Structure 1
Amino acid sequence: MDAQAVLRGLDPEQRAVAEAVSGPVCVLAGAGTGKTRAITHRIAYAVLTGRVKPQNVLAVTFTNRAAGELRGRLRGLGAPGVQARTFHAAAYKQLLYFWPRTVGGEPPRLIESKFALVADAARACRLSLGRTELRDVAGEIEWSKVTQTRPEDYAAAMAKQGRKPPLDVVDVARLYVMYEELRRERNLLDFEGMLEITAALLAEYPEMARAVHDQYRYFVVDEYQDVNPLQKLLLEGWLGKRRELCVVGDPSQTIYSFTGATPGFLLNFTAEYPGAEVVRLVRDYRSTPQVVRLANEVLKNAPRRLELVAQRPDGPEPSLSSYDDELAEAQDTARKAAKLIAEGVPPREIAVLFRINAQSQAFEQAFADADVPYVVRGAERFFERPAVREAVVRLRGAARSGGDAELDGMGLAHQVRAVLAGCGFTDRPPEGAGAVREKWESLAAIAQLAEDLAAAEPDAGLPRFTAELEERAAAQHAPPLEGVTLASLHAAKGLEWDAVFLAGLADGTLPIVYAVTPEQVEEERRLLYVGITRAREHLALSWAQARSPGQRRNRRASRFLDGLQALGGAARAAAPPPARAESTARPGLSRGPLPCRVCGRSLLRAVERKLGRCEGCPAELDEALLEALQDWRAATAAVEKVPVYVVLTDATLQAIAEQRPSSRAELARVGGIGAVKLEKYGSAVLALCRGEEPGETFVAAP
């Protein structure tokens, strides 16, 4: 690709970023405005015009996933030699290289978690702490180290910042001192210490500084609003007295101040670098005008905000719903997600976001009851799963050997599926859930990734695909799994979906109850803004008036929703979903437990509610009907290009084969058959129950 080709397709502001090849440059980039596109094109343009050599560029970001994405885009733009790393990865590489040349001896061992060491420190201080308290103290030590707060200054710093310590400030300071003593005794190094020592060595050893300055001459820092004082200290060591620095950020997305991050470095960039070029990216290519309008309105009184300008066509208006309790909120969210899936939105393009991880439990249960597939962000790392490791090994072996002769002439997607078949992968998902289903989902995600790569690069083969897998594994950049994402608002930063449900928007949760200072409350408001701007098209906001059924309904909607014209002018208590007639009510959404149709016992488990009976109770299963239903479902899923369980789940098919409904009313009473599925598949299923051909199933237009 030539230099001018890199500039094609950029909007005027993105092009201004790309052409600003000399620093200092500050890019203020709103959500969805293409900041990654702008900065990668800037780097590629600088490389292709000869302004800088790729090996002299260091692009710094905050997550391995983001660094991997930067490298992938730069490779596609003709700048494959650029180093894109996190602050920690770059510092660790330098520290390991220069330690023998500076300090000498055995370098400290890096620890990924402070928990065990904090627990040892607590025992040494004769303090009895639970797991939650130990975790909170570890967080306080991390905050203290990144803000360069020493133990003797901890109490004063807490008072100044308005932070509430998890323990008495004296005890936290004692633990901090003991933690550091134990860490040094055991020759251990935590992530903050790694940054601090690297910065100190750059300051103390001129030869190390010269080597680093010779290697890296051109710096780009993404998400600059999240830089903390310790990272800023290291960045200054990398830069020296040079000014070749481009920073990118959005003060409206500052949501990590509790970790020591501060937007001050971004907001004061022009004061620190007089004459710096400033470019504002405000064209929002991600979200519909309706979503953008709400996002702008939430921050309408925030100083130095970026007013987003929507570039997409109109979409549905955001909705606001109120519920009696959190159970009802979770159940109706699952119902709405199921409806979107039935209308053609892939499950992986739907997310439910909440303020704290503890809110996940209700949604996990509701989605399981509704048989809607889901994944919890932050669970086991994808590339560490045994099934994934085995698949990668097999694919790597097939790539080295040139592939099976039988695969010659087949496209990449077919080759990958053939290799995965050796791991037990099939086109049809297994019966039931649990580990077997999780393995299938993991292998299906790899197969889908192969299809995506084949579509983007038609000539790609197994070697290219395995290289992609290895790079993603190194960056922990997992492919999207086929399920609705459940995640905290903080974990959702940097991601986006077609449909987003923002749940639990009650005062005391958002803003969180311990946000007491004006600065803390405004950060909570920005957290809502981040959640809103994750949505491309569908956006639903909700809150519950009580935590559990039967409790006093004394909550109020989040103060951030008051007076929002994009939501109808006020956070009124929206009416709960209308009750449906008994003939169309879904068991998963009922208020109380259903009785078993055989013995009458209350059904508590999701699979039992689907079957309408206890698992141990006898039932007549029409095996021929079940087989016919499975064949019809597979054919329907192939036409709709969705996994078979999106059509109807295994439990629902079994319930149909047991109950053999003869009318639409009887079919509607089967667990897993809601109004949408009844309209879409009812005629075909009833025809099969009568022993007839199902005919043509209605498929919604994409």
Structure 2
Amino acid sequence: MVDAAPRTNRPGLLDGLDPEQRAAAAAPRGPVCVLAGAGTGKTRTITHRIAYLISAGHVAPGQVLAVTFTARAAGEMRTRLRALGVEGAQALTFHAAARRQLRYFWPRVIGDRMWDLLEGKLRLVGQAAQRAGLGTEAELLRDLASEIEWAKASLVTPDEYPATAVKVQRDSPAAPQQVAEVYRLYEKLKNNAQVLDFDDLLLQTTAVLEEHGEVAREFRDRYRCFIVDEYQDVTPLQQRLLDAWLGGRDDLTVVGDANQTIYSFGGASPRPLLEFTRRFPEATVVRLERDYRSTPQVVELANKVIGAARNRPAGSRLRLIGQRPPGPEPKFAEFEDEPTEAAAVAARVRTLLDAGVPASEVAILYRINAQSEAYEQALAEAGIPYLVRGGERFFDRREVRQAMVSLRTAAGDPPPTELVTAVRSVLARVGLTDQPPAGGAARERWDALLSLVEVAEELAATVPGADLPRYVAELEQRAAAQHPPTVEGVTLASLHAAKGLEWDAVFLVGLAEGTMPILHADGDDNAIEEERRLFYVGVTRAREHLWLSWSLSRHPGGRRNRRRSRFLYGLLPEHHPAARVPRSQAARGGAKPKCRLCGETLAGTMEIKLGRCERCPSNLDEGLFDRLKEWRSARAKELKVPPYVVFTDATLLAIAEQQPTDRGALVSISGIGPSKVAKFGEDVLAVIQGER
């Protein structure tokens, strides 16, 4: 049991925490598992736990290592720790922590200087692919690079890759043996050049700690207390590094939410989080379910989204409880085409801005980056400033680099004025005026400079006596960690890039089948559930205003053959004109489809796609299946897209089993809509008839 009023050297340190947050922050040393739902204050809880452990004398600041998955999250953690008076505790990403450790230990265990870090692997992957007899198209190289990253994160060697890829049903960008050869050649080229990629930072650090006892003892004597944020996203490689850090000890706090596992494609798994108490039976477990981020209306919708998930493990059944005052109901909207949808979103954004919502508190989120173009154009036409997340890095912008040079120079002979005034004075020389420019690029530059002033204001409020040299050091640290300040403008971002962020108003756009869930997830129940979790992450980014929309065709005047996402069924108000479930989707919520062989009700996406239950024998024509894959490969190369964009393996399997003889039979197969039939139907029927 956790003492309700723990002793601490800092009276009031835990004031303001709710009972569950307080229990997590004041839990005794040892294994602690915090199951924290979206918006429940997990960063606040983590930082107060670190401050409590230090204040109570359980651990020294320099013995704490907190790790998370993004530089922004690590920067936020450091800022909050500083506000709590904690200096010296490490808050880093896994890769930043490993790089720092490897740089320190490299001369002792390997000798000479540490190898350089490879910023991008496509050049070496391209050389490896060429030697392996594969193409060097940019799309293929990106897919091969991603597959190598997955293999290394999953602790799979080149020799093990072919068997593992088949076992876990990886959608490999080429034949598994060919991918393995590219992987092997890439590693050889990299080692010959004496460079490391980002995964090597984790692999090499793990090897050093596992193979050199003296180094491991020195490290473990330095770091005694470990905190891992976003633990549901840990990969096998990261878990192995964490185990090497611990060295059999149990002073570990993990925080995560299995409902927000969205990186399985990269090797992440919620299993370590869900099995934490099996590994540490004596662990303290705390559930955070009070949502302080979103209105009850948004929380209710989020609970409906994740509540429809199938086969949820016990550790993921968090149900959020809204703590904010009521707000507006989420809005649902259907449009004829994408440009109309984008224009309507831009108009709604303008209404919010006119009502006083800051542009930096508005986000437009989509499933894939290619969807941003229509919204960039619509916002530009409406004169609304925006930023594409994942574009040019803040600290790489020209005006920011110029400002940093001027600030470093001024810090050498700081003026005898308070910090914010000094910063404004320096930035005035590089373009910061009292009043903002009218708009365009000049306004973007002005906003970037103003955000540097806001960093100074934040530092002055949290560090008494902070001066210009201290401020420049803060900027240098943020630049190294890529932890930028907030810049005014509507955020455009993919759902994956939005993880860990929040806004007053969120627009979830393009919610149509084939996009949400993504086309290549169809036929795989696990992939569909990950898409549902991604949608849940999007919903829970909104504090107050939430807009969900989709369009029925891509271009004006195009065929209206799209359907809204299956994840929206049951969410729309009954009176909404789009609330009716289309007949084509009845299998998802109404009458259940039957097995074409025995007549039994089908269960699961794959059974529905194949048109038969798993008990009935397959009548697969293997020769036809191979010919279909050959045709798909050629067609994908011609279109310069991954093969799954043409048809997934599951869809080809269904075609090879059912062998449709006309377009009507082809479109009846789950996952094949009118657009696919129009584009590929004649080819597929010709392959079936043996004409190609």
Shorter-chain TM band? 0.7 to 0.9
Tell me by how many angstroms 1:206 deviates: 0.6
Residue identity matched to 2:422: Q
Q: Letter of the aligned partner of 1:500 in structure 2?
A: V
CA–CA distance in 2 between the matches of 1:510 and 1:329?
Answer: 16
Q: Is the 8 A contact 2:26 2:52 kept in 1?
A: yes
Whole-angstrom distance in 2 between the partners of 1:290 and 1:249? 24
Q: Secondary structure at the match of 1:142?
A: helix
1:362 counterpart residue number: 374
Other-structure match for 1:116: 123
- Displacement of 1:431 in angstroms is 5.7
Q: Does 1:345 align with 2:357?
A: yes
**Partners of 1:95 and 1:455 in 2: how far apart?**
35
Query: Is residue 414 of structure 2 the alignment partner of residue 402 of structure 1?
Result: yes
Asked if 1:440 is matched to 2:446, the reply is yes
Question: Secondary structure, in 3 states, of the residue corresponding to 1:101?
Answer: helix
Give distance in 2, aligned partners of 1:43 and 1:554. 54
Residue 482 of structure 1 aligns with which residue? 488
1:233-273: per-residue Cα shift (whole Å, max 9, x none)?
11111101111111000000000011100000100101111
Match of 2:594? none
Which piece of structure 1 moves more, 21-30 or 455-464? 455-464
Correspondence 1:7 to 2:19: no
Matched, 1:334 2:346: yes
| Contact 2:332 2:572 (8 Å CA) reproduced | no
| Code of the aligned partner of 2:378 | A
Indicate how the Cα distance of structure 1 residues 282 and 571 shifts in structure 2: closer, same or farther if over 3 A, else same. farther
Q: CA deviation at 1:198?
A: 1.3
Out of 474, 481, 493, the position equivalent to 2:499 is 493
Question: Aligned match of 1:314 in 313, 326, 333?
Answer: 326
1:154-197 CA-to-partner distances (Å, cap 9, x unmatched) read 23322333331122223212211111111121112111122112
Tell me whether 107-116 or 555-564 shows the greater mean CA deviation: 107-116
Cα distance in 2 for residues equivalent to 1:124 and 1:198:
30
Q: What secondary structure, in the 3-state scheme, does the structure 2 residue paired with 1:28 have?
A: strand
Q: How does 1:609-624 map to 2 (within 5 A)?
A: none
Separation (CA, whole Å) in 1 of partners of 2:133 and 2:484: 42
Query: Per-residue displacement from partner, 1:455-476 (whole Å, max 9, x unpaired)?
Result: 6678655344334323322221
User: What amino acid is aligned across from residue 251 of structure 2 in structure 1?
Assistant: E
Q: CA separation of 1:176/1:543 partners in 2, compared to 1, >3 Å: closer, same or farther?
A: same
> Normalised by the size of structure 2, how large is the TM-score?
0.79
What is residue 434 of structure 2 aligned with on the other side? Answer: 427
The Cα shift of 1:96 comes to 1.6
Tell me, in whole angstroms, the C-alpha distance in 2 between the residues paired with 1:427 and 1:483.
Answer: 19
Counterpart for residue 389 of structure 1: 401
In the TM superposition, 1:590-669 aligns within 5 A as none
Whether the 8 Å CA contact 2:82–2:462 is kept in 1: the answer is no
Q: CA deviation at 1:570?
A: 9.0
Q: Distance between the aligned counterparts of 2:475 and 2:356, measured in 1?
A: 28
1:507 to 507, 510, 513: 513
- Aligned-residue offset at 1:453: 4.8
**What secondary structure is seen at the aligned counterpart in 1 of 2:506?**
strand
Q: Does 1:284 align with 2:296?
A: no
Shift in Å, 1:477 = 1.2
Structure 2 CA distance for partners of 1:538 and 1:457, relative to 1, 3 Å: farther
Q: Distance in 2 between matches of 1:399 and 1:179?
A: 45
In the other structure, the counterpart of 2:227 is 220
| Matched residue, 2:151 | 144
Q: CA 1:460 to 1:106, structure 2 compared with 1: closer, same or farther past 3 Å?
A: closer
Residue matched to 1:579: none
Q: Is the Cα contact below 8 Å between 1:55 and 1:81 reproduced in 2?
A: yes
SS of match in other structure, 2:383: coil
CA distance in 1, matches of 2:549, 2:158: 42
Q: Cα–Cα, structure 1 residues 142 and 105, in superposed 2: closer, same or farther, change >3 Å? A: same
1:269 paired with 2:276, answer yes
SS at structure 1 position matched to 2:520: coil
Q: Which consecutive residues of structure 2, in runs of 5 or more, have no partner in the other structure?
A: 1-7, 582-692
Residue 306 of structure 1 deviates from its aligned partner by 0.7
Matched AA of 1:488: S
Query: The residue matched to 1:219 in structure 2 has which SS?
Result: strand
Unaligned runs of 5+ in 1: 575-702
1:146 deviates by 0.7
Partners of 1:156 and 1:521 in 2: how far apart?
24
Alpha carbons 2:119, 2:197 under 8 Å: kept: yes
Q: Secondary structure at the match of 2:364?
A: strand
- Verify: 1:166 aligned to 2:140, yes or no: no
Aligned to 2:264: 257
In structure 1, the residue corresponding to 2:365 is in which secondary structure? strand
Counterpart of 1:466 (choices 457, 463, 472) is 472
- CA shift for structure 1 position 153: 2.8
Structure-2 separation of matches of 1:79 and 1:569? 52
Once residues 127 and 538 of structure 2 are traced to their aligned partners in structure 1, the CA distance between those partners, rounded to angstroms, is 38
Q: 1:126 aligns with which of 123, 130, 133?
A: 133
- CA drift at 1:564: 1.8
- Give the secondary-structure state (helix, strand or coil) at the position aligned to 2:65: strand
Match of 2:616 in 1: none
Counterpart for residue 51 of structure 2: 44
Distance 1:122 1:249, change over 3 A: same
Q: Which of 565, 581, 587 in structure 2 is aligned with 1:558?
A: 565
User: In structure 2, what is the equivalent of residue 76 of structure 1?
Assistant: 83
**In 2: Cα distance, 1:64 partner to 1:35 partner:** 17
Show CA shifts across 1:101-158 (max 9, x none).
1122343222122111101112222322211111111000000111011223323322
Match of 2:27 in 1: 20
The 2-side partners of 1:400 and 1:390 are apart by: 16
Mapped partners of 2:563, 2:9: distance in 1? 57
Aligned partner of residue 220 in structure 1, secondary structure: strand
Q: How far, CA to CA, are the matches of 2:470 and 2:575 in structure 1?
A: 51
SS at match of 2:159: helix
Distance 2:363 2:242 in 1: 35
Q: How does 1:409-424 map to 2 (within 5 A)?
A: 412-424=419-431
- For residue 478 of structure 1, report the CA deviation from its aligned partner: 1.0
Aligned twin of 2:38: 31
Deviation at 1:2, TM superposition (A): 4.4
Instruction: Report which stretch shifted further, 457-466 or 44-53.
Output: 457-466
3-state SS, counterpart of residue 247 of structure 1: strand
- What count of residue pairs does the alignment treat as equivalent? 568
Q: Evaluate the alpha carbon distance shift between residue 200 and residue 453 of structure 1 in structure 2; reply closer, same or farther with a 3 A threshold.
A: closer
* Preserved CA contact (<8 Å) 1:563 1:570: no
2:504 match: secondary structure: strand
**Deviation digits for residues 36-66 of structure 1, max 9, x if unmatched?**
1111111111101100111111111111111
Specify the SS of the correspondent of 1:3: coil
SS at match of 2:570: coil
RMSD over aligned Cα, in angstroms?
2.0
| Aligned pair partner of 1:175 in 160, 178, 182 | 182
More off after superposition, 560-569 vs 368-377: 560-569
> 1 CA distance for matches of 2:507 and 2:93?
30
Are the aligned partners of 1:562 and 1:570 in contact in 2 as well (CA < 8 Å)? Answer: no
Distance in 2 between the 1:444 and 1:13 partners?
A: 38
Any idea what the Cα deviations from partners look like across 1:341-382, whole Å, max 9, x if unmatched?
A: 000000000000000000011100110011111011111111
